[in-house]
Amino acid sequence: MNSIYFQEEHHMLRDQVRRFVDEEIRPHGESWEEAGMIPREMYRQMGELGFFGICFPEKYGGSGMNQFGMITLGEELGRSSFSGVSSSVLVHMSMSSPHLVRAGTEEQIARYLPKILSGETVCCVAVSEPDAGSDVAGIRTRAVRDGDDWVINGSKMFITNGYHGDLYFVAAKTDPSAKGSRGISMFIVEKGTPGFRPGRKLEKFGNLCADTAELIFEDVRLPLENLLGEENRGFYAVMQNFQTERLAIGTMATSEAQTALDLTIEHVRNRKAFGGALMDKQAIRQRLAMAHSKIEAGRQLLYHAAWLDNQGIDCVQEVSMVKVFCAEMVNEVMYDCQQFHGGMGYIRETAVERMVRDARLHAIGGGATEVMLEEIAKRWN
Ligand SMILES: Cc1cc2nc3c(=O)[nH]c(=O)nc-3n(C[C@H](O)[C@H](O)[C@H](O)COP(=O)(O)OP(=O)(O)OC[C@H]3O[C@@H](n4cnc5c(N)ncnc54)[C@H](O)[C@@H]3O)c2cc1C
């Protein structure tokens, strides 16, 4: 990768992840899609290779890389063409476990992080609810203090890794009288805690191998030490973590768009019609060249926003642009890629058919396009 943003450590990581994707994901992805789940063994293999700790500090067993570590790994996962795998893995390592490392006490980190890094524990972040997705401040799951316990009641919706997961970072209202975004706290909930269970495993349009579930909390008692971070400051933790989450979605989107484009270029080079290859048609070539240009624009915006974030510069506006631009761009690119695959683009055995379905989520999850546009507009002086 010829780019000012990547160092030797990223190149080495890229080679390692690429090998892993070619040997351990691509050959099995289709059967995982059919099964609607990813085997635990894959997480353990990734854990053994040290992938889950790449962005965590060395003192906790990580490699201490910056956002370009996550981007490198996410880009290579995107090459697999299985977005369900990317989203399950990135939820585990970049969207949920950072809550623990950023806000957890040394005891909480020592207790949970080693098994997260080894892939024995799979994590989830549970914010969305049946009545509150875009509007995080509107969540209704309630945590009430009762003696030495917190008691949680409520439900969560659309939680990635929620059905087969082990450890849940859950947002709940701790002060319902507080205005707007105040009064939310984060909690650590372990699988098997009495009163807590996954509800339905949700059947989806795409990302079939990444499990997505409802979660039910009925008088779930947690010891006080399961509060994660400061009481009533959970909204800010969620917002802070959204930055990494949105960079991760931007990474998935650009990498998947590139992968679909590569598959389509190969297809139109080989497919013959009207006495030549489809690639000979200027209309097709130019549409694909435009797609390529848009992918590159998204990629450079992603890298720039990640660089700003690494410098500790406020970049909510830029990260929101990454989320909007890359999520919309991947859907445009997928449309063209499916179009130029012709009938085969509509058939289940073609990777592009699956990728079209998977890409749709990027514009909805982790902050829908319209919500991101508001984040951009809010910051105009
Ligand atoms: C497969 C999948 C996996 C997910 N994984 C997780 C997870 O692991 N953890 C988690 O907490 N959540 C998860 N989510 C939830 C996801 O983040 C939400 O679906 C998303 O934030 C949108 O919320 P909503 O579905 O409640 O839509 P709503 O908030 O009801 O919004 C519906 C639509 O209205 C529009 N809209 C909303 N607000 C505005 C506005 N202010 N201005 C203009 N238009 C607006 C948008 O187009 C939006 O898509 C997942 C969702 C899916 C589908």
365 alpha carbon to ligand 1 midpoint, in Å?
5
Q: Which pLDDT belongs to residue 251?
A: 98
63 alpha carbon to ligand 1 midpoint, in Å?
33
* Confidence category of residue 182, pLDDT binned at 50, 70, 90: confident
Which residue(s) pair with 189 in the sheet?
A: 168
Distance CA 127, CA 155 (A): 10
Q: Which of 75, 129, 245, 375 is catalytic?
A: 245
Render pLDDT for 102-155 as a digit per residue (tens, 0 to 9).
999 999 999 999 999 999 999 999 999 999 999 999 999 999 999 999 999 999
Render pLDDT for 150-171 as a digit per residue (tens, 0 to 9).
999 999 999 999 999 999 999 9
Ligand 1 pocket, 122 CB below 6 A? no
pLDDT, averaged across the chain? 97
Ligand 1 pocket, 136 CB below 6 A? no
Ligand 1 pocket, 88 CB below 6 A? no
17 alpha carbon to ligand 1 midpoint, in Å?
30
Phi-psi group of 69: left, alpha or beta (phi > 0 → left; psi -120 to 50 → alpha; rest → beta): alpha
Distance CA 365, CA 186 (A): 20
On the question of pLDDT at 229 being above 70, the answer is: yes
- Terminal-to-terminal C-alpha distance of the chain: 37
- Enumerate residues 6+ apart whose C-beta is below 8 A from 287: 336, 340
363 alpha carbon to ligand 1 midpoint, in Å?
9
Q: Is 48 a catalytic residue?
A: no
Distance CA 234, CA 278 (A): 53
For the CA of 128, the nearest atom of ligand 1: 11
Mutate to test the pocket of ligand 1, among 201, 371, 375 (most ligand atoms within 8 A of CB): 371
Render pLDDT for 18-62 as a digit per residue (tens, 0 to 9).
999 999 999 999 999 999 999 999 999 999 999 999 999 999 999
221's tokens: 């008692």
Look up tokens 């951009």; give the residue: 376
Mutate to test the pocket of ligand 1, among 158, 160, 169, 215 (most ligand atoms within 8 A of CB): 158
For the CA of 206, the nearest atom of ligand 1: 1
Q: Which pLDDT belongs to residue 336?
A: 98
Q: Which residue, judged by its Cα, is nearest atom 33 of ligand 1?
A: 368
Ligand 1 pocket, 137 CB below 6 A? no
Mutate to test the pocket of ligand 1, among 89, 96, 123, 128 (most ligand atoms within 8 A of CB): 128
Q: Which pLDDT belongs to residue 181?
A: 82
* Confidence category of residue 180, pLDDT binned at 50, 70, 90: confident
Q: Which pLDDT belongs to residue 179?
A: 84
Render pLDDT for 311-326 as a digit per residue (tens, 0 to 9).
999 999 999 999 999 9
Ligand 1 pocket, 84 CB below 6 A? no
Ligand 1 pocket, 165 CB below 6 A? no
Ligand 1 pocket, 202 CB below 6 A? no
Q: Which pLDDT belongs to residue 140?
A: 96
Residue 81 near residue 30 (C-beta atoms within 8 A): no
Ligand 1 pocket, 361 CB below 6 A? yes
Ligand 1 pocket, 168 CB below 6 A? no
Render pLDDT for 345-361 as a digit per residue (tens, 0 to 9).
999 999 999 999 999 99
* Confidence category of residue 1, pLDDT binned at 50, 70, 90: low
For the CA of 367, the nearest atom of ligand 1: 21
- Residue range 291-297: average pLDDT? 98
Which residue(s) pair with 273 in the sheet?
A: 276
Which residue(s) pair with 185 in the sheet?
A: 172
3-state secondary structure the chain: CCCCCCCHHHHHHHHHHHHHHHHHHCCCHHHHHHHCCCCHHHHHHHHHCCHHHCCCCHHHCCCCCCHHHHHHHHHHHHCCCCHHHHHHHHHHHHHHHHHHHHHCCHHHHHHHHHHHHHCCCCEEEECCECCECCCHHHCCCEEEEECCEEEEEEEEEEEECCCCCCEEEEEEECCCCCCCCCCEEEEEEECCCCCEEEEEECCCCCCCCCCEEEEEEEEEEEEHHHEECCCCEHHHHHHHHHHHHHHHHHHHHHHHHHHHHHHHHHHHHHCEECCEEHHHCHHHHHHHHHHHHHHHHHHHHHHHHHHHHHCCCCCHHHHHHHHHHHHHHHHHHHHHHHHHCHHHHHCCCCHHHHHHHHHHHHHCCCCCHHHHHHHHHHCCC
